[in-house]
Amino acid sequence: MGRGWGLFVGLLGVVWLLCPAHGEERQPETAAQRCFCQVSGYLDDCTCDVETIDKFNNYRLFPRLQKLLESDYFRYYKVNLKKPCPFWNDINQCGRRDCAVKPCHSDEVPDGIKSASYKYSEEANHIEECEQAERLGAVDASLSEETQKAVLQWTKHDDSSDSFCEVDDIQSPDAEYVDLLLNPERYTGYKGPDAWRIWSVIYEENCFKPQTIQRPLNPLASGQGKSKENTFYSWLEGLCVEKRAFYRLISGLHASINVHLSARYLLQDTWLEKKWGHNITEFQQRFDGILTEGEGPRRLKNLYFLYLIELRALSKVLPFFERPDFQLFTGNKAQDAENKVLLLEILHEIKSFPLHFDENSFFAGDKNEAHKLKEDFRLHFRNISRIMDCVGCFKCRLWGKLQTQGLGTALKILFSEKLIANMPESGPSYEFQLTRQEIVSLFNAFGRISTSVRELENFRHLLQDVH
C-alpha cells in the first residue's frame, strides 16, 4: 500500500486553511458567499485549487463519465435490498421496507380518515407522508427479458476478493438487478429522525470517535454548545491523518448525497406532472455557513476531499483496466470494445490531472502499523456498509449501498497500489482483482461525486443574487 498514504497526508492540510474567514470577520453578503466563500482557492500543498478541479471535472470529465455510465455495463447493478438491518429492528414506519403495507396500507386506514377532512388529523398527514415516501422511494426493478439473459452471463466474469464492504451475496434469490438510470438518486421524502439516525450511528460509532466527544450539530444530541464543537475539532486534529481522512470521507459522502437531494428536489407533485429541480432553501439549510454554524462549508470541503481521493484511486487502477484481457463484458462485442476505449480515455484524462501530492508515505517506516490501520479501516468500513441495510427508503438504500461499495473499492485500490503497479500485463491477475460489482460501483460512485461538483456550480449561480 505504501504510497497510497501520501495522498492522505497531502490532503489533510486542505480543509481548514482555505479561507481565513471565521466568526469575527465581516459576514459574507450573499447566500453564495456564505456557502462557498471558504470553498475556494488553493488546496494547501497540492498544486490544484478548487477552481481547477471544477473546470477539470465539469468540462472534461463529467460529460464523458455520464456517457460511460449510461452504457449497459454500468447501468445495471445487482443489489439485495431485502437484507435485514443487523443492528436494530424498529425501523420507522416510513422507513420500513414494507412501509406501505403496515402503517400505510390504504385498506387498513378507516374510511373516515380517508375522507376530505382527513388532512387535518395528524395521523392522516403522516399516512400521506408515508405513502409519498414509499412511492418516491420505490425502486423500479424492471428489466427486459433480453437484458436478464445477458446479465446472467456477466456473473461468470466475476471473481471474488478481499473487500472493504460487506458485499451482498449476489447469488441470493433476494438480490436483484436494478437499472440505475431508471432509479436516479433524488429527493425521496426520506429525512428527519430516521435518516439522522443512520448518519448518527455512522459518525458516532464507526468513525473512530469516542462517545464522550460530541459531533457539532448532531440533531440527535441534546444541549449543543460552542465548547463541544471545539472539543470535536481538537479531537479530530489529534487523530492520525488516516483516521481523520476516514471521517472526512464519510462527511464528504454525506455532503454529496445532500447536494443531490437538493439538486433533484421534488418541487411540484400534481397528477399532471412531477417536477424535480434545485431547491436553494434546502441547499442553504445544509450548507450555508451561518445557518449551519460553519459546518456547511466544511462539509463542502470534505466533498472535494472525497473527490480527490476517488480521483486518485482511479488514476492508480489504470493498469488493471489497460490489460488487453480486460473487457467490459456484456456480450455485445462492438459496444464492449467501444466502452473500453471510452473508459481508458477517462482514466488517462484523470491520470493527467496534476494532483501533486506529497508522495512520501506516512507509514513507510512502519509496516505493522500500516497493516493494522488497513485492517481497522476495513472493519469500520465494512460495518458502515452493513448499516446501509438499515436505511428505510429503498432508493436511498440502493444509492447508499452503491456509494459505500464504490468508496470501499477506491480504498481497496489505494491500499493495493503496489500490487496493481506490479501486475502482469496479460494473463490472470491473482493478487489484485475487481469484480464487476466493484467496477460498477466504483465508477457510479465517482459519477455521483462528479455530479455533485458539477451541481455546486449550478448552486453557486443560483445563490449569487440571494441575500
Question: Which residue shows C-alpha cell 460529460?
Answer: 63
CB of 187 to ligand NAG, least distance (A): 9
Residue of 246, 292, 193 lying closest to 407 (CA atoms): 246
The one among 40, 224, 285, 332 contacting ligand NAG by CB under 6 A? 285
Which one of the listed residues 35, 46, 390, 393 is annotated catalytic? 393
**Residue 396 designated active-site:** yes
Per-residue CA distances from 372 to 359, 368, 375, 379 (Å): 21, 6, 5, 11
Question: Which 8-state DSSP code applies to residue 301?
Answer: H
**Helix intervals (H) in 264-393:** 280-287, 295-316, 318-322, 333-352, 367-387
Rounded CA gap, 210 and 243, in Å?
A: 13
The single residue among 380, 401, 412, 436 that binds ligand NAG, judged by CB under 6 A, is 380
Q: Nearest distance from residue 17's CB to ligand NAG, in Å?
A: 30
Q: Per CB under 6 A, which region of 37-45, 69-77, 378-386, 399-407 contacts ligand NAG?
A: 378-386
Residue 315 binds to ligand NAG (criterion: CB under 6 A): no
* DSSP designation for 85: P
Q: Which residue among 25, 67, 87, 121 contacts ligand NAG (CB under 6 A)?
A: 87
Q: Is 433 in the site for ligand NAG (CB under 6 A)?
A: no
Interface map 193-212 toward ligand NAG (x if CB under 6 A): --------x---xx------
The Cα–Cα gap between 29 and 106 comes to 49
The least distance separating ligand NAG from the CB of residue 387, rounded to whole angstroms, comes to 6
Lookup result for grid cell 481521493: 309
Q: Is 421 in the site for ligand NAG (CB under 6 A)?
A: no
Q: Is 254 a binder of ligand NAG (CB under 6 A)?
A: no
* CA-based R_g, the chain, Å: 22
- Minimal distance, residue 279 CB to ligand NAG, in Å: 4
Euclidean distance between CA atoms 295 and 75, whole angstroms? 34
Residue count, binding to ligand NAG (CB under 6 A): 13
Nearest CA among 252, 276, 281, 273 for reference residue 446:
252
Find out whether 228 and 211 touch, Cβ atoms under 8 Å: no
With beta carbons less than 8 A apart as the criterion, state whether 34 and 437 touch: no
One-letter amino acid for residue 59 of the chain: Y
Q: How far apart are CA 223 and CA 227, in angstroms?
A: 11
Told to judge if 48 belongs to the known catalytic residues of this protein, a careful annotator would answer: no
Quick check: 383 binds ligand NAG (CB under 6 A)?
Answer: yes
Query: Based on CB atoms, which residue is closest to ligand NAG, 48 or 207?
Result: 207
Binding positions for ligand NAG, 265-284, rule CB under 6 A: 265, 267, 279, 281-282
Which one of the spans 6-14, 136-144, 379-387, 410-418 is the region binding ligand NAG (CB under 6 A)? Answer: 379-387
* Cβ nearer to ligand NAG, comparing 377 with 394: 377
Closer residue to ligand NAG in complex, CB, 263/410: 263
d(CA 363, CA 3): 9
By residue count, the chain amounts to 467
Q: How far apart are CA 68 and CA 259, in angstroms?
A: 22
Give the residue numbers of the binding site for FAD: 186, 188, 199, 251, 254, 286
Binding site, by residue number, is 186, 188, 199, 251, 254, 286
| Nearer CB in complex with ligand NAG: 364/379 | 379
Q: How far apart are CA 137 and CA 262, in angstroms?
A: 16
- Applying CB under 6 A, the residues found at the interface with ligand NAG are 87, 201, 205-206, 265, 267, 279, 281-282, 285, 379-380, 383
Residues with catalytic function: 393, 396
